Amino acid sequence: MLYPSRLSQLAKTHSEALAALLSGCLLLVGWIALHLGWTGLALLILPAAYVVGGYESAREGLTTLVKEKELDVDLLMIVAALGAAGLGLWRQEYYLIIDGAALILIFAISGALENYAMQRTDRSIRSLMSLTSDTAQVLREGREASVSIDRLELGDQIVVKPGELIPTDGLILEGFSTLNQAAITGESIPVEKTIGDEVFAGTLNGNGALKLKVHQPPESSLLRRVICLVKQAQTEAPPSQQFIERFEHGYARVIVGFGLLLAVLPPFLLHWSWETTIYRALIFLVVSSPCALMAAIMPTLLSGIANGARQGILFKNGAQLEMIGKVRAIAFDKTGTLTTGQLQVCKIIPATGFSEAEVLQVAAALESGSEHPIGAAIVQAAQGLDGSRATEVQAYPGRGIAGSWQQRSVSVGTADFVKSITDLPIELVQVTDALEQDGKTVVWVAQAQQAIGVIAIADQVRPEAARAIAQLKKLGIEQVIMLTGDNRRTAHSMAQAIGVDRVYAELLPEDKLHIIRQLQNQYKTVAMVGDGINDAPALAQASVGIAMGVAGSDVALETADIVLMADRLEKIAVAIQLGRRSHRVVKQNIVFAIGFILLLITVNFAGNITLPIGVVGHEGSTVLVILSGLRLLRN
């Protein structure tokens, strides 16, 4: 059963379609009455069809005229319809009133179809709204309590049961599960999550129960930022659309001017009758209106934005969808972008008489209380070994750390630091030289004034990095550049491994900015991909700034034009292809719209078109252009 409120909501949502339906019914009744000879009844019913079908267009057209002092398409349609009605009354040829009513009806149907088509472009975006929970189950004083999302506080512990949506971003305190993150990151395969991992609002929990800790305000969650940014994208017109809108205002004046000339001159120049002249002028107003041209761009770009969102690519506005397709060079930050940003122990080389486990255990005992990324990587690698900690620990910033463990002095640090304590075995020195040339960071470990081994640590290259760069080159990207603050040897070693063309190393944030400017002078359209605060200036300067959505800092996410929600580098190639497709479709739509307008104008001057046929051709071309734009919803 539909309740009044539900009926009211449906009427509001489909008001244009309902108005078109009622206008059509009135037109049909008026047409029947006219053919049965009931002229008086027809002249009462047909004006109602005008009012019902044309009210919204008249209101919008008059509002634009009064407030902005501009003519628009809606007002031209109403003038043409009223002109047909006036001509029909003057000549007592009442079928012209039917033509005017048909014009309004078809215009109303077109508006309803355009509205429906536009709703399709943001349907996948609006579906994100349904992923936001209103409440969360919070543990307070040992009991679960349902709390509004907006009232959650930092540090709150949330219980998420199997099959439930994650209510807000959080860190896992207890439990293990697989999460479906498709709605947020575009990843089709569920991802395993365990203690310490971050989970995102709107993702679907699998079979495991989880206890989460709220580590950031709910309004800062990834999902809410996505929704906010997409809403912003839908309200901002790209430069091409702004140009078309400016063109429309001037174009409408020209059309009105030509329409007035066409309504006055033909009887003197071409010996047309006044009735024919006015009728042709009215048809000219209809067929020359730029509806199809106005619909050539935004539906296409919004479809592309919606398609990208489904695949984990967030375009902040249509301008960036246009721009990404024109990119000729792409610059990448290294740490956190081409790499995972997480240091890992990749090799342990013990000195003669010692084992890998002994070397790692000594280093972990010293680093267990350290917050340094290298220390964290060593402690992570030592899980499962004796977890006892060293005492009397003293840090030497930039050099190393020393202390006492199991009644022996121990130290971990650079070669120079350990060399100040003991001699370095020549065989280990040779090995470390090779490791450092390969881009690894080498840590020396000493015990009781004796070097017992070295540990090689490296930031892991993203598995998809080489494949993503190969895809970009296949698409015709002329240069792939790496920008990093890391040392030259490490940067060049990694660049060679993954296929980067050019490397700039040992850079400060302002250096990255200057290099992006240099690249723009050379390649015009340059994209920058980064994740950190130090990348923000370069992201802002680039023609297109692309941020890593999961690993990226808040500053990078706010500065960038495009966000990769799943941190998958291969999505950059998808974004470029989507941008190029949108550019092709927009060009096709514009050519089709202009060509069809010229065709209808030509046929009208030849005298081989009636007002209803002109309306069908005009509105039909508009709907076809919109449907053409919706092609970008397909992957």
| Residues 46-100: tens digit of each pLDDT | 888 888 888 877 787 777 777 777 666 677 777 777 877 887 787 777 777 887 7
> What would be the CATH architecture of the domain defined by 135-221?
Distorted Sandwich (2.70)
Does residue 12 carry a pLDDT above 70? no
What is the distance of C-alpha 434 from the center of its chain? 43
- Give the pLDDT band of residue 519 (cuts 50, 70, 90): very high
Does residue 527 carry a pLDDT above 80? yes
For 595-621, what is each residue's pLDDT tens digit?
Answer: 998 898 888 877 677 777 877 787 788
pLDDT given for residue 579 in this prediction: 92
Q: Is 286 helix (H, G, I), strand (E, B) or coil?
A: helix
pLDDT given for residue 480 in this prediction: 95
> What would be the CATH architecture of the domain defined by 341-460?
3-Layer(aba) Sandwich (3.40)
Q: In the chain, what are the domain boundaries?
A: 14-123+235-300+584-633, 135-221, 341-460
Sheet containing 191-193: give its strands across. Answer: 191-193, 177-180, 204-205
Q: Which structure tokens are listed for 172?
A: 């896992």
pLDDT given for residue 472 in this prediction: 95
Q: Name the catalytic one among 72, 156, 333, 486.
A: 333
pLDDT given for residue 129 in this prediction: 52
Percent of the chain topping pLDDT 90? 16
Q: Which structure tokens are listed for 54?
A: 């044309």
- Backbone angles phi and psi of 485, in degrees to 5: -90, -5
Task: Out of 330-339, 349-358, 466-475, give the one with best mean pLDDT.
Answer: 466-475
pTM above 0.85, yes or no: no
For 161-217, what is each residue's pLDDT tens digit?
Answer: 888 888 888 899 988 888 877 555 545 457 778 888 888 887 888 888 899 998 888
Q: Among candidates 291, 265, 289, which has minimal Cα distance to 277?
A: 265
- Give the pLDDT band of residue 445 (cuts 50, 70, 90): very high
pLDDT given for residue 575 in this prediction: 93
Does residue 337 carry a pLDDT above 70? yes
pLDDT given for residue 488 in this prediction: 79
Q: Is 82 helix (H, G, I), strand (E, B) or coil?
A: helix
Q: What is the mean pLDDT of residues 269-293?
A: 80
Q: What's the whole-number average pLDDT of the chain?
A: 80
Torsion of CA 463, 466, 467, 472, to 10 degrees: 140
For 282-325, what is each residue's pLDDT tens digit?
Answer: 888 778 877 777 778 877 888 888 888 888 888 877 788 888 99
Q: Judge contact between 158 and 211, C-beta under 8 A.
A: yes
pLDDT given for residue 186 in this prediction: 46
Of the ranges 39-43, 99-103, 232-236, which one carries the lowest mean pLDDT score? 232-236
Nearby residues of 624 by Cβ (< 8 Å), 6 or more positions away:
292, 592
pLDDT given for residue 248 in this prediction: 64
Q: Round to the nearest angstrom and report the end-to-end CA distance of the chain.
A: 38
Q: CA dist 72 to 240, 373, 394, Å?
A: 19, 62, 76
Q: Among candidates 16, 26, 25, which has minimal Cα distance to 56?
A: 16
Does residue 230 carry a pLDDT above 60? no
Between CA 322 and CA 633 the distance in angstroms is: 16
CA angle 430, 431, 437 (to 5 degrees): 95
166, amino acid identity:
I
* Residue 333 is a catalytic residue: yes
Handedness of CA 425, 427, 428, 434 (dihedral sign): positive
More confident of the two residues 456 and 369: 456
Between CA 455 and CA 436 the distance in angstroms is: 11
Q: Which structure tokens are listed for 14?
A: 């489909």
Between CA 194 and CA 178 the distance in angstroms is: 9
Q: Among candidates 379, 361, 380, 377, which has minimal Cα distance to 369?
A: 379
Q: What is the mean pLDDT of residues 229-241?
A: 54
Give me the residue label for tokens 């009135």. 26
Between CA 544 and CA 541 the distance in angstroms is: 8
- Give the pLDDT band of residue 497 (cuts 50, 70, 90): confident
Of the ranges 553-562, 581-590, 598-607, which one carries the lowest mean pLDDT score? 553-562
Percent of the chain topping pLDDT 70? 83
Nearby residues of 325 by Cβ (< 8 Å), 6 or more positions away:
576, 578, 579, 580, 581, 582, 583
pLDDT given for residue 222 in this prediction: 63
Between CA 165 and CA 202 the distance in angstroms is: 6
Q: Judge contact between 489 and 334, C-beta under 8 A.
A: no
pLDDT given for residue 330 in this prediction: 96
Q: What is the mean pLDDT of residues 215-231?
A: 65
